[in-house]
Amino acid sequence: MSEFDKKLNTLGVDRISVSPYKKWSRGYMEPGNIGNGYVSGLKVDAGVVDKTDDMILDGIVSYDRAETKNAYIGQINMTTASSFSGVGGTVLGYDILRNPEVDKAKPLFTEKQWDGSELPIYDAKPLQDTLVEYFGTKDDMRHYPAPGAFVCCANKGVTAERPKNDEDMKPGQGYGVWSAIAISFAKDPTKYSSMYVEDAGVWETPNEDELIEYLKGRRNAMAKSIAACGENTAGENGGAVFTSSWIGFAHAMMKPGQVGNAITVAPYIAMPVDSIPGGSILTPDTDMDIMQNLTMPEWLDKMGYQSLTKDGNIKY
């Protein structure tokens, strides 16, 4: 058990989050899970469909397409959380199944926090990739949420259409859709929560390269928002300071007559016991230790899985 978990235990907190299911993840707080903790991961994706005569149904289909793209979270009952990973939480790719790319990453820039410290901002792709590896994709399904599971998620999204006649753009119409997610890790996680931030929008010009450049700049706006949220907690006893923020994006351009949907999701789950090499429902403490001590590549090797994200195979 890590020193941090020992400290949490003295406060009556455990981060155990194990499901008795043999394949599927389960939603946090679903009955039958073992432990009081939760595991979350980062997903941003966008999907498009050809428009029919019913925008509501088109929105449903395009949203479902984004859910089932890359890290598979299709067929779930999604409920909304307000975006924190607190003392009971662990994050895939960072706290458990740590992706070595996290340790190799260089900051893109820094943002000043309320206490004067600099907050380094990183590309979240290593964390996004870890959720893909763990859940799998629709063509290589691994430990994705059980069909029909009730999964609590930090989430936002946007739906837009591109009309066949581009000259008559109206509100809610555009050439593309985009989404963004950020996770910022608390410096003192026994007092303050790590924080998710989600964003999404419609792109209103036909130039995809301009959208990509816009998203790079969008990181700056998100970083300022993160720093401001930390300052909101500041009082005479201090406030939330973050050690790092990881921001990732997805986007999709639409052809004339298509509907697009961009989603940003952080699902809160319990891990199925057979996703833990050497795991057992009889030793949940040991199960969490195993997942904390394994890197993502080591986990892939022990599970006999081929990497889905190697060589940039996954595009967001």
pLDDT at residue 236, as a whole number = 63
Low-confidence ranges of the chain (pLDDT < 50): none
Q: Annotated binding residue at 95?
A: no
What pTM did the predictor assign?
0.95
User: For position 165, what pLDDT does the model report?
Assistant: 84
Q: Spell out the alpha helix ranges (H) of the chain.
A: 3-10, 55-67, 100-104, 125-135, 208-232, 284-293, 296-303
CB-hemisphere CA count at 13 Å for 293? 13
Q: Domain spans of the chain?
A: 3-162+171-285
- Beta-carbon contacts of 7 under 8 Å, excluding residues fewer than 6 positions away, are 190
Q: Is 129 among the annotated ligand-binding positions?
A: no
pLDDT computed for residue 233 by the predictor:
81
Q: What is the pLDDT of residue 74?
A: 96
For the annotated catalytic residues, the residue numbers are 198
Topology given in CATH for the domain delimited by 3-162+171-285: Pyruvoyl-Dependent Histidine Decarboxylase; Chain B (3.50.20)
For residue 198, what are the β-bridge partners? 181
| Dihedrals phi, psi of 29, to nearest 5 degrees | 80, 0
**pLDDT attached to residue 231:** 87
Residue 235's pLDDT is 64
